[in-house]
Amino acid sequence: MSAMILAADGGFTPPGPSVFDLPPYAAGITKPMTLLVLAAVVVGVFFVMSARRAAMVPDRLQYSGEMAYGFVRNSIARDVIGSHDFMRFVPYLVTLFFFILVNNVFGIVPFLQFPTFSHIGFVYPLALISWVVYNAVGIGRKGFLGYLKHQTVPAGVSPVMLILLVPLEFISNIVVRPITLSLRLFANMFAGHLVLILFAVGGEYLLLHSDVLFFKPIGVVSLLLDIALFFLELLVQVLQAYIFTLLTANYISGALAEEH
């Protein structure tokens, strides 16, 4: 990491988007691709192991798995979708939440230190899957034309206003949602990781490489702030996994609702 902070003239080179362009290390396989697979394995192994020896009196692993599952089941799926329809979406929402969470947390895990979803190309497929799920559910419940009307024609609006509102509702509810869902997760992971790198390498440069004595304590402050930002980034990583899953549940709920 320290090599990136020194320019050819010995000056400081601030980190930029290029730090996310990791070269492939074997047959076109990159670190983010490996982390995606690792996250899937981690989530799968955790829930399989926690449920393998289920007992009336759970051990710590079973208790952790039940708490993790129950959080998404009760606080997201049931509360947002409703008690009548929520159970069939619980497996998807649980998988979605913990898959995103593990990939996000990779950004602060030593030696891994890369949030997978700081690459927008990995976020779009997740948003597309959610888009397909809630639209398919709505079409299955209301039929294609009925669902299209549900998503684009607000109730109680005059026909004159519908000329303006229907295209806006179509763009907002059908076209833009997967894009905004993707960009929110991507932008937070990208910006948070870049800020952590900036404070770390900037502090290191000021403390170890700068010839100005006054900059030494500033370097120490920068490194201390980086530690504080580390915990803030952890909070953001959890929140982004929660928000993505919550919005997906909200879109499913809207697709199933009887009124627009």
**What are the boundaries of each domain within the chain?**
2-256
Q: Model's pTM, two decimal places?
A: 0.90
The per-residue pLDDT for 159 is: 80
- Beta carbons within 10 angstroms of residue 50's beta carbon: 21
The dihedrals phi and psi of 29, each to the nearest 5 degrees, come to -85, 130
Q: Using CA atoms, how far apart are residues 148 and 15, in angstroms rounded to an integer?
A: 46
Percent of the chain scoring above 90 in pLDDT: 60
Of 40, 32, 46, which is closest to residue 189 (Cα–Cα)? 32
More confident residue, 97 or 24: 97
CB 76 within 8 A of CB 94: no
The CA-CA-CA angle for residues 216, 221, 227, to 5°, reads: 130
The per-residue pLDDT for 213 is: 78
Give the tens place of pLDDT for each residue, 143-156.
999 999 988 888 77
Of the listed ranges 129-138, 157-166, 172-181, 232-241, the least confidently predicted one is 157-166
Give the tens place of pLDDT for each residue, 68-115.
999 999 999 999 999 889 999 999 999 999 999 999 999 999 889 999
Of 66, 120, 123, which is closest to residue 241 (Cα–Cα)? 123
Q: Using CA atoms, how far apart are residues 96 and 144, in angstroms rounded to an integer?
A: 26
